[in-house]
Amino acid sequence: MPRYLISDRLRITRLFTEFYESEKAGGIVLLFCTVASLIFANSSLSDGYAGFWHHKIGPLSAEHWINDGLMAIFFLQIGLELEREIYVGELSVVKNAMLPVAAAAGGIIVPAGIYTLFNLGTPTQPGAGIPMATDIAFALGVLSLLG
pLDDT band at 42 (very low <50, low <70, confident <90, very high): very high
Angle between helices 25-41 and 3-21 (to 10 degrees): 90
For the chain, give the percent of residues with pLDDT over 70.
95
Cα separation, 20 vs 128, in Å, equals 34
| Mean predicted lDDT score pLDDT of the chain | 88
Decide which of 44 and 13 is more confident.
44
The separation between CA 41 and the C-alpha centre of its own chain, rounded to angstroms, equals 17
The H-or-E segment that residue 42 falls in is: none
Return the domain boundaries, the chain: 22-146
Q: pTM for the full model?
A: 0.69
DSSP β-ladder status, 60-61 and 56-57: antiparallel
Assess whether pLDDT exceeds 90 at residue 4.
Answer: no
